[in-house]
A = this chain, B = another copy of it.
Amino acid sequence: MCASLGDALLSRGDFARIVGASHVLAPEEDDGAAHFGHDATVVRGLSGRPGLVVRPCCASEVAAVLALCWERSIPLVPRGGGTGLAGGAVPLGGEVVCSLARLRGIREFEPSLWRIFPEAGVRTRDVQRLARENGLLFPPDPGASGESLIGGNVATNAGGPHAFKYGPVGAFVTGLEAVVAPGEVIALGGAGRRDVAGYDLQSLLVGSEGTLGIITAVRLRLLPAPAAASALLSFFPSRAAGCAAVLAVLAAGVVPSALDFLDGPSLRFAAAGCPEGPPPAEAEFALLAEVDGTAAEVSSSLAELTAATAAHSIEMRSPSVKELWAWRDTVPGAVASVRGGKLSEDVSVPVERLSEALSGLDEIAARSGLPHCAWGHGADSIVHANLLLDPSAAEERSAAAAAAEEIFALAVSLGGSISGEHGVGLLKGGRLALQWPEAALRLHEEVKRAFDPRGLLNPGKKLAR
């Protein structure tokens, strides 16, 4: 499927004529190129060798790069901030890795109209900050917002805790600009919020992980920032009690902006950073909730939330919103440090099956012989299932990989998905076949062919089977 290392390299001069010689890196000569061989899955051992790295500065350069790749049958890997957790930006070997990091313009920012139009290389954190500084909110908050780029967030339809109330990144896209084969810039949607004139190719590109086109700029709608927000941290004596509390919140009709969970082992691993001191010793589950709105609304939501969960809870704390999420951000690192490594999958299930999913994970982990823990988005019911391992132990790595397959099957058997927010990338290639019927898999492949008949756009990624 892939070109040899040489194909891209032989065209180095032609790529340099497009983007400038200083923006072409060859692995042989430039130390900087190695960085483009992996993303956040490097901790799982994933890495590849780019044939060449090119760094265009604008959509028309991206189009010229793709056109040259098309002409010479050189595969291309689009790359954002390299923070992906499924290997979507990892070259198989020999591709042109096309970094979008230089597309840093804000094409339009109209705070009074609740709109921003950043290029793909703008950091997600900067979109969030610009919104905030102007009384607005860009709600999606996937991890690594300091490094991840908005184009990559759209290309993976990234989520985060606040997607429960507000939806994932794709819910905020009103238009996008993308480069499609054989090397053309197209614009879909626009500044207007409603458009049903064509098939929803925009939603198709959102989450397509660079396999259908290269997103170069995105029109985002923003929201007026809520006036207030408060956090509530509740501890539960058992997983069953915690999962019952999630259902009680929904049944009470409360809409928290986020309702994340940590299971008992996660709580113990991350105990040190817990707001107001370590979790109670008997805690086997915690809910990390945030409510937002007007001050009055926050106060009434908080009361309702407390009432809905109190019967199940053993302790409640009221950290600041900032403290709560700062602690939550320490969890993956704290868990990884226990044994030096971890394998983490992001399956999702219907919310009423969360407890079953976590019990199933216990059994799978027990068979693997590896310690495990789980956290995730409770009301959206995304489970970050983690197996702790020594990365130098090959048998542990392979036990974890086998367990991951069981975790995918478990999620699907409960009516869920193999991926709630990280995407398929390289790591989950082919697992969609567990979840979709044959006819849908065929359509998935036909859509890929419609956009990329030569299979040059991020080959080997987001494969249906």
Task: Indicate if A432 sits at the interface (CB-CB under 8 A).
Answer: yes
- Closest B residue, CB atoms, query A352: B113
- Report B-chain residues with C-beta under 8 Å of the C-beta of A420: 192, 194-196
Q: Which listed residue (B293, B417, B449, B464) contacts A192, Cβ 8 A? A: B417
| Segment at the B interface, from A15-23, A41-49, A92-100, A434-442 | A434-442
- Chain A, 114-166, CB within 8 A of any chain B CB: 114, 135-136, 156-157, 159, 163-164
- Report B-chain residues with C-beta under 8 Å of the C-beta of A278: none
- Report B-chain residues with C-beta under 8 Å of the C-beta of A330: none
Task: Indicate if A201 sits at the interface (CB-CB under 8 A).
Answer: yes
Task: Indicate if A212 sits at the interface (CB-CB under 8 A).
Answer: yes
- Report B-chain residues with C-beta under 8 Å of the C-beta of A191: 350, 415
Q: How distant is the Cα of A242 from the Cα of B350 in the complex, in angstroms?
A: 45
* Candidate in A136, A171, A417 with the most chain B CB atoms within 10 angstroms: A417
- Contact, CB under 8 Å: B424 / A194: no
Contact with B along A339-350 (1 / 0, CB 8 A): 000000000111
Task: Indicate if A264 sits at the interface (CB-CB under 8 A).
Answer: no
Task: Indicate if A223 sits at the interface (CB-CB under 8 A).
Answer: yes
- Contact, CB under 8 Å: B450 / A446: yes
- Chain A, 343-379, CB within 8 A of any chain B CB: 348-352, 377
9 nearest A-B pairs in the assembled complex, by CB-CB distance = A203-B203, A224-B253, A446-B450, A195-B417, A191-B350, A296-B296, A112-B251, A184-B439, A194-B420
- Chain A, 397-440, CB within 8 A of any chain B CB: 415-424, 428, 431-432, 435-440
Task: Indicate if A277 sits at the interface (CB-CB under 8 A).
Answer: no
Q: How distant is the Cα of A194 from the Cα of B186 in the complex, in angstroms?
A: 28
Q: Which listed residue (B193, B203, B348) contacts A381, Cβ 8 A? A: B193
Q: How distant is the Cα of A199 from the Cα of B186 in the complex, in angstroms?
A: 19
- Contact, CB under 8 Å: A192 / B297: no
- Report B-chain residues with C-beta under 8 Å of the C-beta of A167: 171
- Report B-chain residues with C-beta under 8 Å of the C-beta of A251: 112
Number of copies of chain A assembled together: 2
On whether A194 and B440 interact (CB within 8 A), knowing A199-B207, A224-B254, A247-B112, the answer reads no
14 examples of A-B residue contacts, CB within 8 angstroms: A157-B200, A164-B193, A168-B196, A186-B439, A188-B436, A191-B350, A192-B350, A192-B417, A194-B377, A196-B422, A198-B444, A200-B203, A200-B206, A200-B207
- Contact, CB under 8 Å: A437 / B296: no
Task: Indicate if A272 sits at the interface (CB-CB under 8 A).
Answer: no
Q: How distant is the Cα of A439 from the Cα of B156 in the complex, in angstroms?
A: 23
Q: How distant is the Cα of A187 from the Cα of B377 in the complex, in angstroms?
A: 24
Given contact pairs A196-B422, A197-B428, A200-B208, a sample of 14 additional A-B residue pairs in the complex whose CB atoms are under 8 Å apart: A110-B352, A167-B171, A168-B196, A170-B200, A180-B443, A186-B440, A186-B443, A190-B417, A204-B204, A224-B253, A224-B255, A296-B296, A296-B300, A446-B451
- Contact, CB under 8 Å: A197 / B431: yes
Contact with B along A243-256 (1 / 0, CB 8 A): 00001001101110
On whether A432 and B190 interact (CB within 8 A), knowing A224-B255, A296-B296, the answer reads no
Task: Indicate if A462 sits at the interface (CB-CB under 8 A).
Answer: yes
A91 CB to closest chain B CB (Å) equals 22
Contact with B along A199-221 (1 / 0, CB 8 A): 11101101110001000000000
Task: Indicate if A447 sits at the interface (CB-CB under 8 A).
Answer: yes
Task: Indicate if A283 sits at the interface (CB-CB under 8 A).
Answer: no
Q: How distant is the Cα of A417 from the Cα of B198 in the complex, in angstroms?
A: 10
- Closest B residue, CB atoms, query A200: B203
- Contact, CB under 8 Å: A201 / B422: no
Task: Indicate if A380 sits at the interface (CB-CB under 8 A).
Answer: yes
Q: How distant is the Cα of A202 from the Cα of B53 in the complex, in angstroms?
A: 34
Q: How distant is the Cα of A41 from the Cα of B112 in the complex, in angstroms?
A: 38
- Report B-chain residues with C-beta under 8 Å of the C-beta of A247: 112-113
Task: Indicate if A294 sits at the interface (CB-CB under 8 A).
Answer: yes
- Report B-chain residues with C-beta under 8 Å of the C-beta of A25: none
- Contact, CB under 8 Å: A112 / B250: yes
